[in-house]
Amino acid sequence: MKILLANDDGYRAPGLRCLKDALSGVAPLTVVAPDRNRSGASNSLTLDAPLRVQQAEEDVWYVINGTPTDCVHLAITGLFDHEFDMVVSGVNDGANLGDDVLYSGTVAAAVEGRFLGLPTIAVSLVPERGQARHFETAARVARSLVDRLLSEPLHQSTILNVNVPDLPFEKIRGFEATRLGYRHRAEAVVKARDPRGRDIYWIGAAGPGQDAGPGTDFHAVANGFVSVTPLQVDLTRHGAIDGLRAWLQEPST
């Protein structure tokens, strides 16, 4: 049993350090992480430039000038002469709730690990506002889920998207199996001027939860529970195939 750790906040991020500490002793750990913050990288691969790997600590910490997906992709397709059995990504500094999962590099790293044929886990810490603080809480949550997966495996290739309230561990009320909610539209883009008088833009903040009622990931976290959402990669809207087939066959008028 070998576990691969990755993240999207970069190899210096406190959440990654906490995760590694919490999982030490479970199995041999290898960290492969981006050289800087690549939050919002989604599932992107670097195809137009070479990737370089630096060993920050021999046989344990590897740093890549690429995306979270690059990191996991390299790690499971030839960087090492052994295989991994599980990918744990995080602990992200910030929520990955609802539509966030489409943009998230933290979730993408876990998604990339699905080829391992074992459940992979993305862990995020959700502050009420500002920067997250209780990374140890999320790391302990990750440890308990990994222990549980090892003793009682889930269906293969399930991606677990875990969001942890930013609270002391004792204040966590439990675990809840959830579905993704979704957010209101993001806040408007922020327009500014660079020192040379040219327009520049900053992507605005994510919107608040819109579909955030009972059963959603938003609701669980807001009520002090760890939200665990099983994800799949198949984006097909299966229920729409028959209707689409009929629509395509209708004679044009």
Catalog residues that contact Mn ion under the rule CB under 5 A: 8-9, 39, 92
Minimum CB separation of residue 38 from Mn ion in Å reads: 8
Locate 105 and state its tokens.
């590099």
Nearer to Mn ion, 16 or 116 (CB): 16
Strand (E) or helix (H) holding 246: helix 241-249
Minimum CB separation of residue 71 from Mn ion in Å reads: 13
Nearer to Mn ion, 92 or 161 (CB): 92
Minimum CB separation of residue 233 from Mn ion in Å reads: 20
For strands 225-231 and 174-177, give the pairing: parallel
Nearer to Mn ion, 67 or 118 (CB): 67
Is the sign of the CA dihedral 93, 97, 99, 105 positive or negative? positive
- Computed on alpha carbons and rounded to an integer, the radius of gyration of the chain in Å comes to 19
Nearer to Mn ion, 108 or 228 (CB): 108
Minimum CB separation of residue 39 from Mn ion in Å reads: 3
Query: Would you tell me how many other CB atoms lie within 10 Å of the CB of residue 148?
Result: 12
Minimum CB separation of residue 143 from Mn ion in Å reads: 20
Strand (E) or helix (H) holding 141: helix 135-151
Closest among 76, 88, 221, 226 to 149, alpha carbons compared: 88
Nearer to Mn ion, 64 or 118 (CB): 64
- Amino acid type, 26: V
Residue nearest to Mn ion (CB): 39
